[in-house]
Amino acid sequence: MSQVSNPKKSNRPLYFTRSELGLILAAYSARVAAGEWRDYALDHLTGSAAFSIFRHTHETPVFVIEKQQRHHKERPQFILRDNKRVLCKASMVQDVINHFDKLPRLISG
């Protein structure tokens, strides 16, 4: 007799943990205070969660931090994307956040 997997369990949305979200929001708030970013959105899908960062509210996201996990027993992978390409992949959210320091910043004069 074979065991049938529960389809509801495998189709659960993925979420950021409290500590992951805290790290992301700390980096986000520093850039908001600097006037670089203005808005964000959270999306929770089957197998992935996304934190989208916007420079202006009615535009496409400037960056997206995505958490992907194909199977619940695997470690999640974090991906930083701009609107055209993947900028960084890491197994820890802090590594993705640290990548922001390597990117050019807006200078207001």
Give per-residue pLDDT as tens, 28-46.
999 999 888 999 999 988 8
**Rounded distance between C-alpha atoms, residue 90 and residue 17, angstroms:** 16
pLDDT in tens, 37-79: 999 999 988 889 999 999 987 889 999 999 998 887 889 999 9
**DSSP secondary structure letters along the chain:** -PPPP-HHHHTPBP---HHHHHHHHHHHHHHHHTTS--EEEEEEEBTEEEEEEESSTTS--SEEEEEE-SSTTSPPEEEEE-SSSEEEEESSHHHHHHGGGGS------
Q: What confidence category does residue 8 fall into, taking pLDDT thresholds of 50, 70 and 90?
A: very low
pTM of the full structure: 0.82
CA distance 15 to 62: 21
Q: Give the tens place of pLDDT for each residue, 95-107.
A: 999 998 887 766 5
